Amino acid sequence: MPEPRATEMRVRVLACGVNLSDWEYLVGAPFYARLVGGLFRPKNPVLGSDIVGVVEKLGSGASSFTIGERVMGDLVMMRGGFAEYACVSEAEMIRVPVDLPDEIAACLPQAGGIALAGTEGLSPGDTLLINGAGGGSGTMALQLAKAAGVPVTAVDNASKIAWLKELGADETIDYRAHDFTGLGKKWTRILDMVATRGPARVAGCLATGGKYRAVGGRVSVLLSLVFGGVLFRPAKKSIGMLMVPSGRNLTERVARAAVDGKISPHLEAVLPLSSVPEALRRTGLGEVKGKLVIKP
């Protein structure tokens, strides 16, 4: 049974979302996963960061919550959610809105935060391409873009194409059949969940005044986008990484958006702890439509 440190709380885990970051920490790639999660071995052998739980014990310096309250948060730096009990930082948690079921709340912190940050500033007149649109972040970004009146091109594997059309995508591309950078089309905004292309290829399909943001990918590709993207500023093309201000404030914004009906996570399945290995494998391979949630 884990014991909370001074600024922590122990929670009985009600549900925990499965994220691509869990897979990255598991396999140690891209390299930044090792820098955060342990260079040669995991700092924490228990994965799972989008935790929803009931407060069972408070650390000596924890005073923002009370025993029995239902809380949620993104503990991406600590993890530990694929378990019956977890110790969480009080500073990272919020109270779960009464209207949110455990399983839905567990889909929100990390994936919803990426969706909010990645679609910020969208307005009618924009055109958005989402590469990796069929995952948790991509489907919520699709919802936010459509609500803003923006046409969306959704890129993912063939098994998700028809489904993404049902969700409202105006155009779909099977990335295994077509490279969106080689179609001769341009978009004002591109949100790339797993970057594999350098800045020159990205710039070719980005409209003047447009913005490309990468969420993840190999370190070499991300560095090329950050430093090489500077070369395209004179052409009024902004290329770089998406900076997501994870933490309590962002989790509150995401939860509020869900309560207000602005985002609705697509939950493929709720699974027991024994299914964690398979859930991680499918997430890592991009097979999941929306989100998987683990429920002890």
Virtual torsion, Cα 63, 69, 72, 73, nearest 10 deg: 10
- pLDDT tens digits, 88-138: 999 999 999 999 999 999 999 999 999 999 999 999 999 999 999 999 999
Helix residue ranges per DSSP H, 197-259: 199-204, 219-228, 248-259
Question: In the numeric block, which tokens belong to residue 141?
Answer: 């970004």
Helices (H), the chain: 20-27, 31-37, 102-105, 109-119, 136-147, 158-166, 199-204, 219-228, 248-259, 276-284
pLDDT tens-digit series, residues 176-190: 999 999 999 999 999
Within this chain, do residues 236 and 118 fall inside the same structural domain, yes or no? yes
The answer to the question of residue 214 being in a domain is yes
The reply to whether 30 falls in a domain is yes
At 71 the pLDDT is 98
d(CA 263, CA 133): 14
**Percent of the chain with pLDDT strictly greater than 70:** 100
Instruction: Count CA within 13 A, CB hemisphere, residue 240.
Output: 11
Domain boundary among 225, 241, 257: 241
Q: Could you report the per-residue pLDDT of 242-279, keeping only the tens digit for each?
A: 999 878 999 999 999 999 999 999 999 999 999 999 99
Asked if 173 and 230 sit in the same domain, the reply is yes
Enclosing domain of residue 66 = 8-107+265-294
Domain containing residue 88: CATH number: 3.90.180.10
Measuring CA to CA, which residue among 80, 107, 105 is closest to residue 288?
107
DSSP annotation string for 174-186: ETTT--GGGSS--
Q: In a 3-state reduction of DSSP, which class is residue 75?
A: coil
